[in-house]
Structure 1
Amino acid sequence: MPLMPGAEPYHHRAGPIGVLLCHGFTGTPQSLRPWAEYLAARGLTVSLPRQPGHGTTWQEMNRTRWEDWYAEVEKAFEDLQGRCAEVFTAGLSLGGCLALRLAEMHGDGVRGVVVVNPSITNDVWLMKLAPLLKWFVPSVPGVANDVKKPGVTELGYSRTPVKAAASLPELWSLVQADLDKLTQPVLVYHSTDDHVVKPASVAIIREKVPQATIEELADSYHVATLDNDADRIFAGSLDFIRTHASVPLQRD
């Protein structure tokens, strides 16, 4: 299946600290590519995989489930573990959910977590109907490209595949149930004006992950990694990694 131009994964080998970046639901690595390149330019080993069903067609994505997306980021995480002394996980939207799940499953194997507008709960009425709708409706309008900054476009599907979406509640439930397992430092960036993910996800993290630091973004919509606050996210995540890594970065 041909890829959308710009949807390619990104990998960069550098120093002993690795960062795994996870893109969001119906999105592509393009939404995190500037973040990945920023970290790579500062001596970090970076992995930004393309999850199955993404970056091709929404019809293909309808043949995948959350287990397929998690398996891909798990594979990338294990590869980083084999190359790096320490690994951090990070992600946007549902990618933030996957980053948190990796930390729950791997414990001390994940040094810290950075998430941007994470999605960890069923907060949209249409999503609540997805398990039923999947038998009658193949897709609904998409959620990609919620960006405030003029002239910037997120590469993602214009339609949301309902069968794929119907698998999300299981993942959300697992992640919520295991949030108390998180002992790692967690940094959360939250757009105050987000048209895709409601505040409920960050509220749950605030309640159940006491060590989490919440940073509000006042000038970005959902895809904040491509928006007006992107530079703040990039620099802040680098400071977070520098603070919590036990080995120095290779170079600036």
Structure 2
Amino acid sequence: MQILEGAEPFHSPGSGQRADTAVLVMHGMTSSPQMVRPVADRIAEQGYAVSAPLLPGHGTTWQEMSRTRYADWLAAVVAALEELRASHRTVVAFGVSMGASLVTDVAARRPELIDGLVLVNPAFAADDWRLKVIPLVKHVVPAIQGIGDDIRREGPPREMAYALTPLKAFDSFVEQWPRLVRELPEIRQPVMLVRSRHDSVVPAVSCDVFLAEVGSDDVTVTWLEESAHVAPLDHDAEQLIEGTLEFVNRVSGHGT
């Protein structure tokens, strides 16, 4: 399946002293690395190694995604982190939405792979009653309206996300939420939790649950006051990028 132009994975080997540190940058559900490229590009410009892979079933068609499940996406994230760990002293994982949930999952189960987490609007819980009927509806309705492009800023660039969300693939993620929450006490790494004030995709309860259950005693919460869910492409992108760089500098020991 051909990857859509602009949705390709991004990799940078790093340069100079900071090349001993790598940052995994993960996009969200139905999206692609295009969603997080502003972050990935700036981190790479600072000399850090960067990997922004394309999750299975993404960056092509929603029908292709409908044949993939959470286990496929998790395996891709684990493989990317194992590759980075094999050749870098420090590895930081950055993720948006489902991408944040995926890297959190790995941090809890394979803590040796991740030294720090930047979680942007992570999804762990929701109070939407419609989620309760998805296990039944998914067998008769293949897809619903897409969840992408939740951006307050007008004009380009817009998020390259599918117009439809395949229900069976989506439900494979929602099914994992109770397990992910149970694993949160295992998270001991430093965490930068980023919350968008106007997020209409992931409800506030998700981050509230994370903060109540996470085991790390090094958690910094940053609010993006003018942004919606897709923060890397919204009004507060510069604040997000600068904060991420400061966090990577601290975790890696490279300073500013």
TM interval, short-chain normalised: over 0.9
Distance 1:107 1:207 in 2: 20
Which residue in 1 is equivalent to 2:45?
A: 41
Classify the secondary structure of the residue corresponding to 1:174.
helix
* 2:81–2:113 CA contact under 8 A, matched in 1: no
**Structure with the larger RCO, 1 or 2 (CA within 8 Å, 6+ apart):** 1
* 2:10–2:33 CA contact under 8 A, matched in 1: yes
Classify the secondary structure of the residue corresponding to 1:237.
helix
Which residue in 1 is equivalent to 2:29?
A: 25
Which residue in 1 is equivalent to 2:63?
A: 59
Distance 1:122 1:26 in 2: 18
Give 2:164's match in structure 1, choosing from 159, 166, 172.
159
Which residue in 2 is equivalent to 1:120?
A: 124
Amino acid aligned to 1:155? M
Ranges of 4+ aligned residues in structure 1 off by more than 3 Å: none
Amino acid aligned to 1:174? R
Amino acid aligned to 1:171? Q
* Range 102-111 or range 155-164, more displaced: 102-111
C-alpha displacement at 1:22, in angstroms? 1.1
Aligned residues: 249
**TM-score by structure 1 length?**
0.95
Which residue in 2 is equivalent to 1:109?
A: 113
* 2:57–2:68 CA contact under 8 A, matched in 1: yes
Which residue in 1 is equivalent to 2:4?
A: 4
**Root-mean-square deviation over aligned CA pairs:** 1.3
Which residue in 1 is equivalent to 2:194?
A: 189
Amino acid aligned to 1:4? L
* 1:120–1:176 CA contact under 8 A, matched in 2: yes
C-alpha displacement at 1:185, in angstroms? 0.7
Distance 2:229 2:126 in 1: 16
* 2:231–2:237 CA contact under 8 A, matched in 1: yes
Q: Tell me the percent identity.
A: 38
Distance 1:9 1:194 in 2: 26
* 2:107–2:187 CA contact under 8 A, matched in 1: yes
C-alpha displacement at 1:128, in angstroms? 2.5
Amino acid aligned to 1:7? A
C-alpha displacement at 1:112, in angstroms? 0.5
Classify the secondary structure of the residue corresponding to 2:11.
strand
Classify the secondary structure of the residue corresponding to 1:213.
strand
Give 2:74's match in structure 1, choosing from 61, 70, 73.
70
Distance 1:6 1:23 in 2: 13
C-alpha displacement at 1:102, in angstroms? 1.5
C-alpha displacement at 1:38, in angstroms? 0.4
**TM-score by structure 2 length?**
0.94
Structure 2 residue 215 is matched with structure 1 residue 211: no
* Unaligned ranges ≥5, structure 2: none
C-alpha displacement at 1:169, in angstroms? 2.5
Which residue in 1 is equivalent to 2:138?
A: 134
Give 1:202's match in structure 2, choosing from 204, 207, 212.
207
Classify the secondary structure of the residue corresponding to 1:166.
helix
* 2:22–2:90 CA contact under 8 A, matched in 1: yes
C-alpha displacement at 1:242, in angstroms? 1.0
Structure 2 residue 246 is matched with structure 1 residue 239: yes
